[in-house]
Structure 1
Amino acid sequence: MFESPTDKQGGTMGAGGRMSVTTTKAEQKKNLLQRVPYSKPPFTLGDLKKAIPPHCFQRSLLHSFSYVVYDLFLVLVFYYIATSCFHLLPYPLSYLAWPIYWIVQGCVCTGVWVIAHECGHHAFSDYQWVDDLVGLILHSVLLVPYFSWKYSHKRHHSNTGSLERDEVFVPKPKSKMAWYSKYLNNPPGRVISLTVTLTLGWPLYLAFNVSGRPYDRFACHYDPYGPIYNDRERLQIYISDTGVIAAAYLLYRVAVAKGLVWLVCVYGVPLLIVNGFLVLITYLQHTHPSLPHYDSSEWDWLRGALATVDRDYGVLNKVFHNITDTHVTHHLFSTMPHYHAMEATKAIKPILGEYYQFDGLPFYKAMWREARECIYVEPDEGTPKKGVFWYKNKF
Structure 2
Amino acid sequence: MSAVTVTGSDPKNRGSSSNTEQEVPKVAIDTNGNVFSVPDFTIKDILGAIPHECYERRLATSLYYVFRDIFCMLTTGYLTHKILYPLLISYTSNSIIKFTFWALYTYVQGLFGTGIWVLAHECGHQAFSDYGIVNDFVGWTLHSYLMVPYFSWKYSHGKHHKATGHMTRDMVFVPATKEEFKKSRNFFGNLAEYSEDSPLRTLYELLVQQLGGWIAYLFVNVTGQPYPDVPSWKWNHFWLTSPLFEQRDALYIFLSDLGILTQGIVLTLWYKKFGGWSLFINWFVPYIWVNHWLVFITFLQHTDPTMPHYNAEEWTFAKGAAATIDRKFGFIGPHIFHDIIETHVLHHYCSRIPFYNARPASEAIKKVMGKHYRSSDENMWKSLWKSFRSCQYVDGDNGVLMFRNINNCGVGAAEK
Whether TM exceeds 0.5 here: the answer is yes
Query: How far is the alpha carbon of 1:95 from its aligned partner?
Result: 3.4
Which of 51, 75, 84 aligns to 1:53? It is: 51
For 1:315 and 1:108, locate their aligned partners in 2 and report how far apart those are by CA, in whole Å: 13
> Which residue number corresponds to residue 25 of structure 2?
none
> Which residue number corresponds to residue 298 of structure 1?
314
Q: CA-atom RMSD, angstroms?
A: 2.1
For the 8 Å contact 2:127–2:354, the answer to whether it is kept is yes
> Which residue number corresponds to residue 249 of structure 2?
233
> Structure 1 156/377 Cα, relative in aligned 2: closer, same or farther at 3 Å?
same
> Which residue number corresponds to residue 311 of structure 1?
327
> Which residue number corresponds to residue 117 of structure 1?
121
Q: Is 1:213 equivalent to 2:225 in the alignment?
A: yes
> Which residue number corresponds to residue 381 of structure 2?
364
For 2:35 and 2:317, locate their aligned partners in 1 and report how far apart those are by CA, in whole Å: 16
TM-score by length of 2: 0.84
Query: How far is the alpha carbon of 1:40 from its aligned partner?
Result: 4.3
Q: Is 1:151 equivalent to 2:155 in the alignment?
A: yes
> Which residue number corresponds to residue 355 of structure 1?
372
Query: How far is the alpha carbon of 1:136 from its aligned partner?
Result: 0.1
> Which residue number corresponds to residue 260 of structure 2?
244
Q: Is 1:390 equivalent to 2:402 in the alignment?
A: yes
Which of 190, 193, 201 aligns to 2:202? It is: 190
Matching residue's letter, 1:120: G
Query: How far is the alpha carbon of 1:34 from its aligned partner?
Result: 6.7
> Structure 1 36/302 Cα, relative in aligned 2: closer, same or farther at 3 Å?
farther
Query: How far is the alpha carbon of 1:157 from its aligned partner?
Result: 0.3
Matching residue's letter, 2:355: H
For the 8 Å contact 1:124–1:131, the answer to whether it is kept is yes
Q: Which runs of 5+ in 1 are unaligned?
A: 1-5, 9-30, 380-384
Post-superposition Cα deviations, 1:225-256, rounded to whole Å, max 9, x if no partner, equal 11111121100000000001110111011112
Moved >6 Å (runs of 4+):
none
For the 8 Å contact 1:36–1:355, the answer to whether it is kept is no
Query: Counterparts in 2 of 1:1-395, with a 5 A limit?
Result: 37-41=36-40, 43-85=41-83, 86-90=85-89, 91=92, 92=94, 93-177=97-181, 178-179=184-185, 180=188, 183-216=195-228, 217=230, 218=232, 219-318=235-334, 319-379=336-396, 385-394=397-406, 395=416
Post-superposition Cα deviations, 1:196-224, rounded to whole Å, max 9, x if no partner, equal 11111111110111111111222110001
Query: How far is the alpha carbon of 1:100 from its aligned partner?
Result: 1.1
For the 8 Å contact 1:37–1:354, the answer to whether it is kept is no
For 2:162 and 2:196, locate their aligned partners in 1 and report how far apart those are by CA, in whole Å: 32
Query: How far is the alpha carbon of 1:275 from its aligned partner?
Result: 0.2
For 1:35 and 1:253, locate their aligned partners in 2 and report how far apart those are by CA, in whole Å: 57
Q: Which runs of 5+ in 2 are unaligned?
A: 5-29, 407-415
For the 8 Å contact 1:224–1:234, the answer to whether it is kept is yes
Residues 369-378 or 82-91, more deviating: 82-91
For 2:295 and 2:118, locate their aligned partners in 1 and report how far apart those are by CA, in whole Å: 12
For 1:56 and 1:267, locate their aligned partners in 2 and report how far apart those are by CA, in whole Å: 35
For the 8 Å contact 2:394–2:404, the answer to whether it is kept is yes
> Which residue number corresponds to residue 12 of structure 1?
none
Query: How far is the alpha carbon of 1:109 from its aligned partner?
Result: 0.8
TM-score by length of 1: 0.88
For 2:378 and 2:39, locate their aligned partners in 1 and report how far apart those are by CA, in whole Å: 28
For 1:202 and 1:87, locate their aligned partners in 2 and report how far apart those are by CA, in whole Å: 35
Query: How far is the alpha carbon of 1:82 from its aligned partner?
Result: 2.4
Query: How far is the alpha carbon of 1:7 from its aligned partner?
Result: 10
Matching residue's letter, 2:196: L
SS of corresponding position for 1:89:
helix
For 1:248 and 1:310, locate their aligned partners in 2 and report how far apart those are by CA, in whole Å: 35
For the 8 Å contact 1:329–1:344, the answer to whether it is kept is yes
> Structure 1 332/146 Cα, relative in aligned 2: closer, same or farther at 3 Å?
same
For the 8 Å contact 1:122–1:335, the answer to whether it is kept is yes
% identity of equivalent residues: 40
Query: How far is the alpha carbon of 1:117 from its aligned partner?
Result: 0.4
SS of corresponding position for 1:122:
coil
> Which residue number corresponds to residue 27 of structure 2?
none
Matching residue's letter, 2:88: L
Query: How far is the alpha carbon of 1:35 from its aligned partner?
Result: 5.1
